[in-house]
Chains A and B, each alone.
Chain A
Amino acid sequence: MAPHRVLIVEPQLPVRHAVAEYLRQCGYKVYEAFNTDEALVLLSKTDVTVDVVVADISSHAAVDGFGLSQWIKAERPRTRVLLASSLQKVTEYAGNLCDEGLKLSRPYHPQTLHEEIKRQLAAK
């Protein structure tokens, strides 16, 4: 059986690399993107199919995590999205949460992420 595919969208390389390596050890095929711009290129211009996208609400790009989530809902409806944010940012983005729902509070342990990914895959 082919491994499930996860895309990590995370601007901090040490965090992204550590989470990605953890998930690879768990058996996932992991793609890495610095920001939502890169994620959109990967999702729209390649034949890569992704089961779960993990992205921060904020992004160092024109599109934030919510925008990426909305694009995925419209264009890749079989792909699940996990949005993450630090608690401080929750209030700032509270207006959007009713639609998208926050799934992960930063900082999160990779094992917590793994559990949430498993829940998302089970819900597919």
Chain B
Amino acid sequence: MIMIKTDFVEMKISVLVLEDDIELRFLLADTLRNAGFKVIEAGTSDEALTFLRTSKDVSLVFADIKVPGESDGIGLMERMRREFPAIKVILTSGHEMREAAPPGVRFLQKPYILSRVISEIRSLLLEPKAP
């Protein structure tokens, strides 16, 4: 389990992976679990949002932009900014959508190297949340 250690608090780190390609989601989730994260797997933006509304312990969402559901990954991120501003987000896509990602939001182009995903997640988690 990945723990972020501060002077007073140890926090377990949960990452929600939103990815509709089950082969990739399975591989990614497996890799992240092996790296010590607690992983929640979602295949649609609707189930991701439902889970976020019922769970308090998600620290970061790693979301594909093109996913089924009421919102795409960007729409989900915008809703999260309103409802869960403390949760950090990394967007990804196999399409050239870097420009579509809002300024300041991390974007990882597919195909990505799994170790790169881990390093991006770790570095974003260590980054202070923007005011």
Q: Footprint of B on A, CB under 8 Å? A: 12-14, 16-17, 21, 31-34, 38, 41-42, 45-46, 48
Residues of A within 8 A of B48 (CB): 13
Is A17 touching B51 in the complex (CB atoms < 8 A)?
Answer: yes
Is B23 touching A32 in the complex (CB atoms < 8 A)?
Answer: no
- Tell me whether B47 is interfacial, beta carbon within 8 Å: yes
CB nearest to B33 among chain A residues = A24
Task: Give the total number of A-B pairs whose CB atoms are below 8 A apart.
Answer: 37
Is A17 touching B23 in the complex (CB atoms < 8 A)?
Answer: no
Residues of B within 8 A of A42 (CB): 22-23, 26
CA distance A16 to B47 in the complex (A): 11
17 pairs, CB–CB < 8 Å, chain A vs chain B = A12-B47, A13-B40, A13-B41, A13-B47, A13-B48, A14-B55, A16-B41, A17-B40, A17-B41, A33-B22, A34-B22, A34-B43, A34-B44, A41-B22, A41-B23, A42-B23, A42-B26
- Tell me whether B54 is interfacial, beta carbon within 8 Å: yes
Known: A13-B51, A42-B26. 20 other contacts (CB 8 A): A12-B47, A13-B40, A13-B41, A13-B42, A13-B50, A14-B50, A14-B51, A14-B54, A16-B41, A21-B38, A31-B26, A32-B29, A32-B41, A34-B22, A34-B43, A34-B44, A41-B22, A45-B23, A46-B23, A46-B26
Secondary structure call for the B interface: helix
Residues of A within 8 A of B29 (CB): 32
Secondary structure call for the A interface: helix
CB nearest to A35 among chain B residues = B43
Contact among B23, B47, B51 for A34, CB-based, below 8 A = B47
Residues of B within 8 A of A41 (CB): 22-23
Q: In this complex, which of B22, B26, B41 has the most chain A Cβ atoms within 10 angstroms of its Cβ? A: B22
The 8 A CB mask of B30-62 against A (1 = contact, 0 = none) is 000000001011111001101100110000000
CA distance A13 to B51 in the complex (A): 7
Residues of B within 8 A of A48 (CB): 26
CA distance A48 to B48 in the complex (A): 25
